[in-house]
Structure 1
Amino acid sequence: MAESKREVERKYEGSVTGDHAKLPDLTGVSGVSGVIDKGVAELDATYYDTADQRLAAASLTLRRRTGGDDAGWHLKLPVSEGVRDEIQAPLSDDLPPELTGLVRSRVREAELVPLVRLVSARVIRHLVDDSGALLAEVSLDRVRAERLSGGEGSTAEWTEIEVELADDGDPAFLDKVEKKLRKAGLARSSSASKLAKALGETAPRTKGKKAKAPAAEKEPVSAGDHVLTYVRAQRDAIIELDPAVRRDHHDSVHSMRVATRRMRSAFRSYGTILDRAVTDPIGDELKWLAGELGVDRDQEVLTGRLTQALHKLPRNLLSGPVPTRLSSWSQARRGGSRQRLIDVLDGGRYLDLLTSLDAIVADPPLLKAAADAPSTVIAKAVRKDFKKVSDLIAEALDRPSGADRDFAMHEARKKAKRTRYAAEAATPALGTPAADLVKSMKSLQGLLGDHQDSVMAREAVLELAAEAYAAGESAFTYGVLYGREEQRAAEAEAALPEAWETIGERAAV
């Protein structure tokens, strides 16, 4: 069974990390009452990656390590600078599926092979406070790296110091330790990890030529540049969120779903820039993925709304087992499971979609207008989307309250969301006007969204009331809930004309 922990650490190199290196005296660090010698650990780690080093390119590390007190398989996922999530699986000969699944969005169908072997002699010291509690572990590592593939036989050796914060420790403590280490002649390591340093030191070099540095990403200039930058960001978000979705991290499913919608909206809004003959089929697959991610999401939102409404009711308005019926009704309508979602992410259709997204970014189907200035092409696309919202709002306001108005407001909400995403993509090129439109569309989307949620809630309440009546229970409370939702919808409808007038005055893209 895999276990996870948050790792906060810093690595150092410098004049005191040579052949005769020793750990500096850290007894004077503020808060440290003792430095405990924990001996020397002999560590032997083999790192795995694809032949083209997809994991390393994403700052991911997957290794099998023996020695020390945490022998086993370790997968490290970057969180921020110096912070990584480490997922550990028991030691075995084979790659553990619980870890390889977490890198599936990067690896796809490629084989994971031994890339580098690192053998380290680790001198360990524990920094403790006056109660004996661990503050940080400081180690001096003498490392020997051997390249196992992509330059077999090449080796490198170095010494470094690593400071790892205790679980749930205050990151500010690392600053105190660093101050002492700097005085001892040390500086932050130029490599983010041992693997990164090993790959750099053992990389094969063509005789007489230096290794080529990765090309810096160019600043977007044309309309096509700006749209592709936005599309690329959504592609990256989907891939990067994959492990979090698999680990059931808070809001990860919703965030990935939003990324699919943003990309799909960009394809539709900027059809004069990216050929829709190519992007429409991909958009259909993005819609499919969003649907799979949202199998239970909409039901959860609806249940949450009704549960919150129940909590706000005075006790004398609660008649019958309403909370119990709501809970059983919600459970009966759950269409998905964690395993179903994992099966989707492991499936060929999803992996093919990721490959298609890579292809769009690498070889985009640009049309002639992509070379034009964003101030004309992008602005025109945003204005076109805004016009559609405007027409739908006018249509909704012209209709009497009821099903027709509900439908028009729902359609306006969907177009407002698309316009918001189009303005997001336009903001780097168009500046403040586009940023203001993003805020306006977000506000409008919230108003229209609350109205649509009320529509859905009223439909659910009628269904619950029918079930309660058939079971011989009182339907009184459902009537109260229906009336309150009806009032919320009426308030949203009443607020719409003034809200839209304000937005219309600000719209200047």
Structure 2
Amino acid sequence: MTQSKRETERKYEPSSSGADGLPDLTGVGPVASVTAARHEELDAVYHDTADLRLAGASATLRRRTGGADAGWHLKLPLTGDSREEVRAPLSDEVPEALRELVRSRTRGAELRPVVRIRSTRSVRHLRDAEGGVLAELSLDEVRAESLEAGDGHAEWSELEVELADGVHAGLLDTVEKKLRKKGITRSDSPSKLVRALRETGAGGRQTGRRPTSDGVTPGSPGAYVVAYLREQVGILVALDPAVRRDLPDGVHQMRVTCRRLRGCLRSYRSVLDRRVTDPVRAELRWLAGELGVERDQEVLRERVGAALEELPDDLVLGPVAARLRVWEVSQGDETRTRTREALASPRYLRLLDALDALVRRPPLRAKAAGKPGRVMARAVLKEYDRLAGRMGHALEQPAGQSRDAALHQARKAAKKVRYAAEVARPALGKPVTRLGKRAKAVQKLLGDHQDAVVAQDTLRGLAVSAHGAGESAFTWGLLHGRERARADARQRELPSAWRAASDPALRASLRH
């Protein structure tokens, strides 16, 4: 069993006078008092792969004894000064739950002890006027030793300021101003592990290396495309633990990331050789499909549940809430299992390896070194032309299933325009940004239409089940009618949204 918390902290180089050199922080911002120091002895063994894949991804995994939070700690990077810390009870081996959470980074490679860090810690609490804890101020005397060949050692002092839960991050800036006046500067190491690896020699040349791409000319179409791919691959890997833990929106964000990667590889086939990228696109489609089952279920559950809550009590006839709950559980267990099996499969890990290889050794074509304005604008406009063709076809269809299906295809085309525009934004600026926003507006409208169409099918099935069980199907029929009206409303709004997106001036601005 694991627990998690958000950790927001900064590390500093204390003055040579140690604890005696710490400034009095009483009266700094909301700090009304500082508690007397308490002392702890901490002993942590950090685990990583032989080539330090966790450290290279700014993640740490340790087994720590001593202090109030002894156990296994996995720290995953977030934005700014924050990290997520996932804790598991103390045990001799790395808990399987934590092994799973780092699998997208380790790719199944063996985890082993790499560094031992022992700290003598002096802890003070910064409190507000009501006595509530605002932050923890820790001064550590650190002794690190490599557990790899060479047996290197290092010692240093470190000051850490960690915010309490719910405290605004601005307090860190306020405290830092006071520390700087005392000559206490920010540490250049984001974690004890990074410093220990560097100073004990355990890190070698692997630690902290940023991935590079072979043969990419700066400022070229290839550089922009590969930079986008690298960013999205990083997001995909970082989302993996959230999906495994069933965190809100995790599946949706991973599925969107798969689509962005697929869209980039499709739209910029003039830049990257499709003989290499098409197999990767196929695997991304597989992963998005596995995730899509759970995501579609999630969207339906939220949509139907919200619509039901909006109904007056006198329009809810029969055990509607109970039947909806049974449907949610029966469908949810199946879709969740499918997602877990996908992430546990060797096929998924091979996809991650293929994406890494694609970024490191991109299969560049001749146009990858051309002029970004021409090459990338042409790629975006090509996707736009496909969207225009599908929209024209959809709007010509009679109302009913044929139009619904055509509008769904147009929605997919609008996404491709949007994602192609995202890739080109750093190179083409405002013109492609405007086109991307208009395409997004069309996509969102068509997305709501498609959700309403799918919801109608689900509600009809629930109505049939209710009727078969001798229950009233009135409420399900009422919700079905509302979804049909909503779909019709989106269709009426579509011509206006499409006129804005098909403005000739938008396309012309990309051709200049």
Is the pair's TM-score, using the shorter chain for normalization, greater than 0.5?
yes
Give 2:71's aligned residue. Answer: 72
CA distance in 1, matches of 2:263, 2:383: 10
- 8 A contact 2:14–2:184 mirrored in 1: yes
Give 1:445's aligned residue. Answer: 443
- 1:190 shift after superposition: 1.9
Q: Which segments of 5 or more consecutive residues in structure 1 lack a partner in the other structure? A: none
Give 1:490's aligned residue. Answer: 488
Give 1:16's aligned residue. Answer: 16
- 8 A contact 1:16–1:186 mirrored in 2: no
Matches within 5 A, 1:423-442: 423-442=421-440
| Farther off after superposition, 261-270 or 296-305 | 296-305
Matched, 1:350 2:355: no
| Farther off after superposition, 239-248 or 303-312 | 303-312
| 1:4 maps to amino acid | S
SS at match of 2:113: strand
* Alignment CA distance shift 1:408-1:223 (3 Å): same
Matched, 1:25 2:8: no
- 1:339 shift after superposition: 5.2
Give 2:360's aligned residue. Answer: 362
SS at match of 1:87: strand
| Farther off after superposition, 358-367 or 133-142 | 133-142
* Match 1:461 to one of 459, 462, 472: 459
- 1:123 shift after superposition: 2.0
SS at match of 1:153: coil
TM-score, normalised to structure 1, is: 0.91
* Alignment CA distance shift 1:443-1:28 (3 Å): closer
| Farther off after superposition, 295-304 or 396-405 | 295-304
SS at match of 1:37: coil
* Alignment CA distance shift 1:200-1:428 (3 Å): same
| 2:275 maps to amino acid | A
| Farther off after superposition, 161-170 or 416-425 | 161-170
TM-score, normalised to structure 2, is: 0.90
SS at match of 1:145: strand
| Farther off after superposition, 71-80 or 416-425 | 71-80
Matched, 1:404 2:391: no
CA distance in 2, matches of 1:405, 1:205: 59
Matched, 1:99 2:98: yes
- 1:197 shift after superposition: 1.7
Deviations 1:122-169 (A, max 9, x none): 1222333444433322222111222222x6222221112222222333
Give 1:113's aligned residue. Answer: 112
* Alignment CA distance shift 1:317-1:27 (3 Å): closer
- 8 A contact 1:16–1:184 mirrored in 2: no
Matches within 5 A, 1:106-145: 106-145=105-144
Matched, 1:84 2:83: yes
Give 1:187's aligned residue. Answer: 185
SS at match of 1:496: helix
Matches within 5 A, 1:151-162: 152-162=150-160
CA distance in 2, matches of 1:297, 1:71: 37
| 2:390 maps to amino acid | L
CA distance in 1, matches of 2:272, 2:175: 52
CA distance in 2, matches of 1:203, 1:142: 19
| 2:4 maps to amino acid | S
- 8 A contact 2:387–2:414 mirrored in 1: yes
CA distance in 2, matches of 1:82, 1:492: 42
- 8 A contact 2:27–2:33 mirrored in 1: no
* Alignment CA distance shift 1:496-1:196 (3 Å): same
| 2:110 maps to amino acid | E
CA distance in 1, matches of 2:305, 2:208: 59
* Match 1:224 to one of 212, 222, 225: 222
- 1:449 shift after superposition: 1.5
CA distance in 2, matches of 1:195, 1:364: 32
Give 1:372's aligned residue. Answer: 370
Give 1:4's aligned residue. Answer: 4
* Alignment CA distance shift 1:313-1:158 (3 Å): closer
CA distance in 2, matches of 1:470, 1:247: 37
Identical counterparts, % of pairs: 52
Matches within 5 A, 1:35-434: 35-149=34-148, 152-203=150-201, 220-334=218-332, 336=334, 338=336, 340-434=338-432
SS at match of 2:499: helix
| 1:507 maps to amino acid | L
| 1:410 maps to amino acid | H
- 8 A contact 1:448–1:492 mirrored in 2: yes
* Alignment CA distance shift 1:272-1:214 (3 Å): closer
- 8 A contact 2:63–2:73 mirrored in 1: yes
CA distance in 2, matches of 1:205, 1:262: 34
CA-based RMSD of the aligned residues comes to 2.7
- 1:385 shift after superposition: 1.1
CA distance in 1, matches of 2:323, 2:382: 46
| 1:103 maps to amino acid | V
| 2:497 maps to amino acid | A
- 1:256 shift after superposition: 0.6
SS at match of 1:507: helix
SS at match of 2:85: strand
Q: Which segments of 5 or more consecutive residues in structure 2 lack a partner in the other structure? A: none
SS at match of 1:392: helix
Deviations 1:388-430 (A, max 9, x none): 1111111112222122211111111111111111111111111
- 8 A contact 1:220–1:229 mirrored in 2: no
SS at match of 1:80: coil
CA distance in 1, matches of 2:266, 2:318: 49
SS at match of 1:388: helix
